[in-house]
Amino acid sequence: MKLFEYQGKELFRNYGIAVPKSVVVQSKEELEKIDMPFPWVLKAQVLVGGRGKAGGVKIASSIEEAKKAFDEIMGMEIKGERVKKILVEEKAEIEKEMYLSFFLDRSSRQYLMMFSPHGGVDIEAMKENVKKIYINPLIGLQSYHLRKLPKETRSIAGRLYRLFIEKDCELAEINPLAISGEAAIALDSKIIVDDNALYRHNELPKENAELTPLEKEAREKGIAFVQLDGNIGVIANGAGLTMATLDALNEFNGRGGVFLDLGGTDDPEKVKQALEIMVKAKPKVILINLFGGITKCDTVARGIMEFMEEHDTPPIVARIKGVNEDIAREMLKDYVIALDSFREVAKKAAELGG
């Protein structure tokens, strides 16, 4: 789960990391109530990068300029994400910008601390200046790790690491980490928390802003469901089979736009819930790729059949293999386009979705 900048900065405050004074607003009237010296920085609150270059960050030297900036930022779209909140913060006097982050490096099975003496919007272009420090998770951050950083950043690095560990983060990033006077200040935050650890953190926001309304509905029902750009809905059982199905569609230029993982469900009612969510996503065609192991094919087929008798659906192409597959095929022969081959079912779905 990604946190908005203002949410990440609230965590920074809790961990003793200095951040500028700030207020989150959703209406222009709220600007009048802000008790903070000018100049202000108005920053669009979105979960994607590149907002500065898109015009989502503006400086105001008066309330009139702030209102004008508010009108320009509120409601704008940045990489497909609409701005609904704006962070208004006191402009810091910046002497130097740096970069600091901790993230989970799965390839090395360690934590990785990254530091650059140069931060800001063009950090990606300065890879040669980035220092990488690997941290054994069984040992943790040590003083010899911190001695590799400039003195003024060591305290913040220690606090950011503690936040990273205690909040089960996949990423905790400050960019830029600014030097202002003798103080180091976090001018931005990027926090990604492991979804699987959210049950341990009631103090974190309950609503995952990244999720679409349908993804939220699916999560409430315990269904793994993801919306992408495309017009083919994929239902399979097991993450591996679901991803393989998307790859097969791609081979035939099919655009998988929604995928739903049934997992090991053996409950026709759960299948009907899954189809209900899938139909709400309005795909042109639904591809069902079922491998019955723990899951019995005939019980899934019963859920499909009962749902289709009660609701209108787009064309459904199905490949059904495994336990009781013959029974399932017989049950669905008048409801779906049943094919035996993985390639055939992907090709047919791609054609219908074209």
Q: Known catalytic residue: 99?
A: yes
- The Cα-based distances of 37 to 34, 41, 186, 348 in angstroms read 9, 11, 19, 63
Report the alpha-carbon distance of residue 331 to residue 267 in Å, rounded.
16
Amino acid in the structure at residue 236: A
Catalytic residue among 5, 89, 97, 173: 173
Residue 18 tokens, joined:
């200095």
Report the alpha-carbon distance of residue 107 to residue 277 in Å, rounded.
35
Report the alpha-carbon distance of residue 193 to residue 125 in Å, rounded.
26
Strands (E) across the chain are located at 2-3, 22-25, 40-44, 57-60, 77-78, 81-82, 86-90, 96-105, 110-116, 131-135, 169-180, 183-186, 190-193, 224-227, 232-236, 256-261, 285-292, 316-322, 337-338
Helix (H) or strand (E) run with residue 344 in it: helix 342-353
Catalytic residue among 99, 111, 215, 325: 99
Report the alpha-carbon distance of residue 43 to residue 74 in Å, rounded.
10
Query: What is the number of other CB atoms lying within 10 angstroms of the CB of residue 198?
Result: 15
Q: Known catalytic residue: 335?
A: no
Q: Which positions are annotated as active-site residues?
A: 99, 173
